[in-house]
Structure 1
Amino acid sequence: MIHIAVVGLGNISGKHLHGLLLFPERCKIVALCDIYPEKAESAKEKYGLKEARVFDDHIKMLSSELKIDLVHICTPPSTHAEIAINAMNAGVNVLVEKPMAPGLKECDEMLEAEKRNGVVLSCISQNRFRNPVWRLKKLVDSGLAGKILAAHADSLWYRGHCYYDLWWRGTWEKEGGGPTLNHAVHQIDILNWIKGELPEEVTSLLANVAHDNSEVEDLSFSAFKYADGTAAEVTASVVHHGEGQSIVLQCEKARIAAPWSIVADVTQDNGFPVPGGNAVLEKELNEYYDKIEPLVYEEHDGEIDDVLTALEKGTRPLISGEDGKRTVELITAMYKAGFEKRTVMMPITPEDGYYTANGLMRHAPHFYEKNASIENFSYTNIIPTGDMGRSK
């Protein structure tokens, strides 16, 4: 039985609590911790966690006599590294919400703590555990569509003006950035996973077009170039009505995507596409896609199942701390390119002025000043986590 503590009982914690409660024979929630203990008490009552102890400080929790095997960190990004490192120094495994940390130095310190203490560090990237994305990765690995030539990732969300009224949102210090960091993190992780490498060159444009109560961007466009000459682009937004998240891969033989779609063109002698395309290949790709074994659990549920399995079997989870760092590194390069209005080269090394969160903040423009805030929202509202296509 794996004993679980959840630190941070804001909106996203519900996804963690729901997922953990799917596996009562494998894990038990023994502690809930929040600087606002009434939020922890509310979650305790809502989820029927009668035996869970409530703490208002994670140090108190870790210093108690309570047996804790795994800590889920669901706090604002600026606190991830401190809580994770303290937990790992106490010999506790960690599953931390995205982004892993606002800065690469913090990511490296977290990885060092994992290694030093012989524990497991994993980072949430639940979209890998959506069946359309899972199957897309399997299809790419099959080689049936050929080499990826270009990738297009849309992280399109709508967040009203009041979204940034919350005290920690919309600040470089506490949130670490806007949708480039906190929303597109999912699509960027998927690109890194599918491509299997980071790009060499990064170019970005950043803007704040609709949220004058936020220092950070609410819209960005980025382009990447890889060592093999292929390219990718990412749009990150919290101003898009209708929302929509997708990964589109233009491959040598076909275009494949999540949500699932496929088009396979073939050329005429004059270079123009044949009407109707390559129906034979489209049929083959559709059949291969449909035969891929679907995931039993998706999104947070799927990642929690994976982490529990890793701890039970002494293996590594699908999403490691190294994966979390790679995503932060690419996002850091996107910010550097946008701030400096030029193409930047990767990797971001410890000598780089953007290696630390403080270094990034020193360079960051304030699109607007955040002059007022509120402590908490009502937590009765629906919190959407996106749609990469229906499970199939």
Structure 2
Amino acid sequence: MIQVAIVGTGNISNAHIRGLLEFPERCRIAALVDIYPEKARAAKEKYGLKDAAVFDSHEKMLSSGLKIDLVHVCTPPSCHAEIAIHSMDAGISVLVEKPMAPSLKECDEMLEAEKRNHVTMACIAQNRFRNIIYKLKKTVESGLAGKIRCAHVDSLWWRGHCYYDLWWRGTWEKEGGGPTLNHAVHHIDMINWIQGGLPEEVTSMLANVMHDNSEVEDLSFAALRYGDGSVAEVTSSVVHHGEEQGIVLQCEKAKIAAPWSCVAEVTKENGFPVEGHNQELMEELKAYYNSLPDLVYEGHAGEIDDVLAALEKGARPLITGADGRKTVELITAIYKAGFEKRTVTLPIGPEDEYYTETGLQKHAVHFYEKGKSIENFASSEITVGTY
């Protein structure tokens, strides 16, 4: 039985708790930790966790003598590294919410803590455990559509003006960035996973068009170029009504996308497309996609299942700290390109100012200064997207 502690009992912790409760024979929530202990006690009551201990700091939980095998880090991004490293130094494995950390330096310190303590670190990217993303990845790997030549990634969300009133949101220091870091992190992880690696060049434009109570961007456009000559574009937004998220892959032989769609063309002698498309290839792709079995668990429950299995079997989870770092590296490159208004190259190493949180904040554009700040919202209901 894996003993679990949840550190941070805000909005996203609900997805973690519900996911863990899917596996009562494999794990037990032994502790709930929050700097506002009343929130931890409310979660304990809401989910009937009568045996869970409540703490107001992760340090108190770690020094309590309570047996913990896995810590879920569900706090604001600025303290992910501190909590994860302290936990790993105590010999405890961790599952860290997105983004892994605001800076590459912190990511590397977390990876080093995992290595020296011989524990396991996994990073949340739960949309890999969505059927439509998993099946899209498998369809790419089948080779039926050919190599990816151009990808369009839409991480489109909508958040009201008051969203950034919460004390830690909308600041480079506490949140680490806007939707590029905190929302598109899902879709940037997906394109890294599907492409199999990072691009070589990045250029971007950052803007804040609707939230004048926030220092950070609420919209960004990024263009990526890969070593094989293929390209991608990523839109990261919290200003799009309808929240229409998705990935479109223009491959050599066909377009395939999530949500699932497929079109394949064949050419006339003059280079124009034949009417009616390439129906044979489209049917083959559709049949392959539909033949793939559904995942047993989706979203956070799917990733938690994978992490529990890794701990039980002494294996590696699907989404490791190295994966979390790759996502942060691409996001850092998008910020660097946007701040400096130029194309930048990867990798970003320790010699680069943007490798550290201090360096990134030094160059960060403050679109506005945060004026209003509240400790907590009355409502804890949130949306986490579907893909």
TM-score (norm 2): 0.99
Contact residue 219 and residue 239 of structure 1 kept, 8 A: yes
Identify the residue that residue 64 of structure 1 maps to in structure 2.
Answer: 64
Please give the per-residue CA displacement for 1:284-332, whole angstroms capped at 9, x wherever unaligned.
0000001111101000010000000000011000000000000000000
Identify the residue that residue 272 of structure 1 maps to in structure 2.
Answer: 272
Note the residue ranges of structure 2 that are not aligned, 5 or more in a row: none
CA distance in 2, matches of 1:68, 1:231: 44
Provide the secondary structure at the position in 2 that maps to 1:158: coil
Contact residue 81 and residue 106 of structure 2 kept, 8 A: yes
Matches within 5 A, 1:217-256: 217-256=217-256
* Deviation (angstroms), 1:380: 4.2
Identify the residue that residue 210 of structure 2 maps to in structure 1.
Answer: 210
CA distance in 2, matches of 1:380, 1:230: 41
CA distance in 2, matches of 1:218, 1:56: 32
Contact residue 244 and residue 386 of structure 1 kept, 8 A: no
CA distance in 2, matches of 1:79, 1:145: 42
Contact residue 11 and residue 380 of structure 2 kept, 8 A: no
Identify the residue that residue 193 of structure 2 maps to in structure 1.
Answer: 193
Please give the per-residue CA displacement for 1:219-247, whole angstroms capped at 9, x wherever unaligned.
00000001110000000000001111101
Identify the residue that residue 183 of structure 1 maps to in structure 2.
Answer: 183
Identify the residue that residue 318 of structure 1 maps to in structure 2.
Answer: 318
Identify the residue that residue 87 of structure 2 maps to in structure 1.
Answer: 87
Please give the per-residue CA displacement for 1:166-201, whole angstroms capped at 9, x wherever unaligned.
000000000000000000001100000010110000
* Deviation (angstroms), 1:386: 1.1
Note the residue ranges of structure 1 that are not aligned, 5 or more in a row: none
Contact residue 20 and residue 304 of structure 1 kept, 8 A: yes
CA distance in 2, matches of 1:283, 1:136: 15
Identify the residue that residue 300 of structure 1 maps to in structure 2.
Answer: 300
* Deviation (angstroms), 1:119: 0.3
Please give the per-residue CA displacement for 1:86-113, whole angstroms capped at 9, x wherever unaligned.
0000000000000000000000000000
Are 1:22 and 2:22 matched, yes or no? Answer: yes
CA distance in 1, matches of 2:75, 2:384: 17
Identify the residue that residue 351 of structure 1 maps to in structure 2.
Answer: 351
Are 1:39 and 2:47 matched, yes or no? Answer: no
* Deviation (angstroms), 1:387: 2.5
Contact residue 244 and residue 387 of structure 1 kept, 8 A: no
Provide the secondary structure at the position in 2 that maps to 1:192: helix
CA distance in 2, matches of 1:261, 1:249: 10
For the aligned residue pairs, the C-alpha RMSD in angstroms reads 0.6
* Deviation (angstroms), 1:379: 3.2
CA distance in 2, matches of 1:93, 1:152: 35
Identify the residue that residue 386 of structure 2 maps to in structure 1.
Answer: 387
CA distance in 2, matches of 1:97, 1:327: 13
Provide the secondary structure at the position in 2 that maps to 1:71: strand
The alignment of Structure 1 onto Structure 2 pairs a total of residues equal to 387
Contact residue 208 and residue 367 of structure 2 kept, 8 A: yes
CA distance in 1, matches of 2:119, 2:359: 29
Contact residue 10 and residue 379 of structure 1 kept, 8 A: no
Provide the secondary structure at the position in 1 that maps to 2:222: strand
CA distance in 1, matches of 2:162, 2:139: 41
Contact residue 179 and residue 219 of structure 2 kept, 8 A: yes
CA distance in 2, matches of 1:242, 1:133: 20
CA distance in 2, matches of 1:276, 1:309: 47
Identify the residue that residue 103 of structure 1 maps to in structure 2.
Answer: 103
Contact residue 78 and residue 175 of structure 2 kept, 8 A: yes
Identify the residue that residue 260 of structure 1 maps to in structure 2.
Answer: 260
Contact residue 99 and residue 182 of structure 1 kept, 8 A: yes
Are 1:172 and 2:172 matched, yes or no? Answer: yes
Please give the per-residue CA displacement for 1:105-150, whole angstroms capped at 9, x wherever unaligned.
0000000000000000000000100000000000101101000000
AA partner of residue 119 (structure 2): V
AA partner of residue 384 (structure 1): T
CA distance in 2, matches of 1:296, 1:21: 15
AA partner of residue 181 (structure 2): L
Contact residue 5 and residue 71 of structure 1 kept, 8 A: yes
* Deviation (angstroms), 1:207: 0.2
Identify the residue that residue 75 of structure 1 maps to in structure 2.
Answer: 75
CA distance in 1, matches of 2:287, 2:100: 37
Contact residue 223 and residue 233 of structure 1 kept, 8 A: yes
Contact residue 124 and residue 303 of structure 1 kept, 8 A: yes
* Deviation (angstroms), 1:276: 0.6
TM-score (norm 1): 0.98
CA distance in 2, matches of 1:231, 1:380: 39
Identify the residue that residue 133 of structure 2 maps to in structure 1.
Answer: 133
Q: Which runs of 4+ in 1 moved over 2 A?
A: none
AA partner of residue 387 (structure 1): T
Are 1:369 and 2:369 matched, yes or no? Answer: yes
**Percent of paired sites with the same residue:** 73
CA distance in 1, matches of 2:293, 2:115: 34
Provide the secondary structure at the position in 1 that maps to 2:245: strand
Contact residue 156 and residue 239 of structure 1 kept, 8 A: yes
